[in-house]
Chains A and B, each alone.
Chain A
Amino acid sequence: QKEVEQDPGPLSVPEGAIVSLNCTYSNSAFQYFMWYRQYSRKGPELLMYTYSSGNKEDGRFTAQVDKSSKYISLFIRDSQPSDSATYLCAMSANTGNQFYFGTGTSLTVIP
């Protein structure tokens, strides 16, 4: 079983839709959770960083962590064509030494 599971999609939505992206994980020691956006042939760009459980909001993006279910989500409100990219979740335990990534979900926002 992989440490982090993420549905690869692809996911296609109309402009203005609310997008929900999710990851599950198996290691209960994970406490640090991140979401990255990656455009084709570019490096991942950090979008959201959360510690432990709870919600965090930044503009159109909301990250949620449910440690009891080992489940994290990223919501994108009022999605734009420029949001079309691959979204990666990443997480680590207390040591912070190694970050485990999901495979990424490919998102297309149709104008």
Chain B
Amino acid sequence: DTGVSQDPRHKITKRGQNVTFRCDPISEHNRLYWYRQTLGQGPEFLTYFQNEAQLEKSRLLSDRFSAERPKGSFSTLEIQRTEQGDSAMYLCASSPGVSFGELFFGEGSRLTVL
């Protein structure tokens, strides 16, 4: 499978715990995006990497959220001290960067905070 891969697919955690999600983009895609989607809403932009550089962060990304993309390959999104409002689907997408469109999404990581 050469698509965007996300892990875990579903995470249930208690309020206050830390969680980490991993995304493996399509090979050779140099742009990687994190989005968050809640029920009945479209995806909301969180952050974006060009290779290993984090170029843009949404104000939705509070200081409890941190994302990395070491070596410009896979990326991780960590949420510290989770809150119930963090419950959502966290979507990763990659783009070849040659054109500005064509975001390819993974299946998402669903977070449930109890």
Interface of A with B (CB < 8 Å)?
4, 6, 8, 31-34, 36, 41-46, 49, 51, 88, 90, 92, 94-104
Contact = CB atoms under 8 A, between A and B. Distances in A.
Interface residues of B, number: 28
B105 A98 contact: no
A46 B56 contact: no
- Listed from nearest, the 3 A-B pairs whose CB atoms lie closest are A96-B100, A101-B42, A43-B105
A106 to B, nearest CB: 9
B40 A103 contact: yes
B52 interface: no
B107 A99 contact: no
B85 interface: no
B11 to A, nearest CB: 14
B45 A99 contact: yes
B25 interface: no
A94 B100 contact: yes
B79 interface: no
Interface in B84-114: 89, 91, 95, 99-108, 110
A94 B100 CA distance: 7
A97 B55 CA distance: 8
